[in-house]
Amino acid sequence: MARKFFGTDGIRGRTNAGVITAAVAMKVGQAAGHHFLRGDHRHRVVIGKDTRLSGYMMESALVAGFTSVGMDVIMTGPLPTPAIALLTREMRADLGVMISASHNPFEDNGIKLFGPDGFKLSDADELAIEALLEAEPVLAEAELIGRARRIEDARGRYIHAVKQSVASDLRFDGLKVVVDCAHGAAYQVAPSAIWELGAEVVTIGVAPNGTNINRDVGSTSLAALQARVVEEGADIGIALDGDADRLIVVDEKGQAVDGDQLMAVIALRMREKDALRGGGVVATVMSNLGLERFLEGKGLTLERTQVGDRHVLERMRAGGFNVGGEQSGHMILLDYATTGDGTVAALRVLASLVRSGKRASELLHQFEPVPQLLKNVRYSGGKPLDDARVKAVIADANGELTGKGRLVIRPSGTEPLIRVMAEGDDAAQVERVVDAICDAVREAA
């Protein structure tokens, strides 16, 4: 069945256009609520959101949908995506909903769904909900309509939970940390958790107004954090995205540290404690070849998946891994969370910094990345990757890079773009290969 609503990470789009409208949100509440009405207990859904202006509209519409089919609703207000996954499980809810478009600008919004175990829904569940969205809703009898309430202690519950990822005898005293919350969902909880563990905290991106989420701050816009870390003489900078499931770090010199380096740091520390499972790390095809070589040199493996933290998580669960993530900053640490959690990952990085006694610039740059180049080619229609000339150029490129690097070419899942990525030991060769493929795609398109 073709998907009309769900993409690679829930339902996402521009607000009041396409699938992100109040009308569709209400239908999602009705369809997902009906799908998870299982058993004869009183059913419950937890709904959280980030700080987008449209969150009010989407929340109200979802509440109407869920209550109309007989499901009780618990609203948390602004909280990170991983907090909703946690509370869904801890509060014995049948379903969790996060209203967020992650790192996208405020004009976009989205709906992420979690099952009662706190994990994102399976393909089967999403397809079942898709089918219900096209059907007439099955409404509850008048006396069985659900109730809605807002809980006030959700932030405290989450802060307490994430602090459990750090040993009880460890304190962050003496660390000066700049925390950038992207004016997003973690603007209260992330600085509080780090401060409660003893660090001196300087904050940016903690004044959401509904329209400034991710604007010139956060994990996809590091300039403000880099400047502030250097200005403050801080030990480290922490950058989250709008829903706080991503983490990018800045060292004391203002240099960015991506998800590949963070996975290396966390995995090695866990192996030292004999806590690393699966014999390595799970990442996507976009992770740098330098990470793969580094892990191999340490006797560990790097298993690659398609792009998307959902695919990483599926492989982790199937293979018994407990560390995985993406170069873009999704960090999945299954010992502590059921989905990517930027705050948990930040606490693990800070703990490693304290334990090692090293500067961030010493500890966090574990390997030298090989030259990597990614370019996007926009096209108006057709399937340019099926063109014979494009195939020939790709084959030549693969031949050039054999034994020296990698080539990853994929259509975007959300835009009419072909993404061309190559990496290898020779930067000039990498650039030449990428440009040749991009030129061939443009001609074919």
Catalogue the active-site residues: 102
Give the DSSP letter string of 169-190.
T---TT-EEEEE-TTSTTTTHH
Q: Is 365 exposed, middle or buried (0-12, 13-18, 19+ CB in 10 A)?
A: middle
β-strand partners of 13: 109
Q: What SS3 state is found at 424?
A: strand
Q: Which one-letter DSSP state was computed for residue 121?
A: P
CA distances from 282 to 9, 21, 226, 311 (A): 18, 36, 28, 10
d(CA 331, CA 345): 6
Task: State the alpha helices, DSSP H only, in 41-153.
Answer: 55-68, 81-90, 123-133
d(CA 14, CA 275): 42
C-alpha 326 chain-centroid distance: 8
| HSE, side-chain direction, 13 A CA sphere, residue 182 | 34
Q: What SS3 state is found at 148?
A: strand
- Here the tokens at position 407 are 């080539």
Closest CA to 69 of 119, 34, 19, 18: 34
Q: Is 416 exposed, middle or buried (0-12, 13-18, 19+ CB in 10 A)?
A: middle
d(CA 268, CA 84): 29
- Here the tokens at position 427 are 């930067």
Contacts of 256 (CB under 8 A, 6+ apart): 222, 226, 248, 249, 250
Helix (H) or strand (E) segment spanning residue 355: helix 342-356
| HSE, side-chain direction, 13 A CA sphere, residue 102 | 23
For the chain, the residue count is: 445
Terminal C-alpha separation, the chain: 28
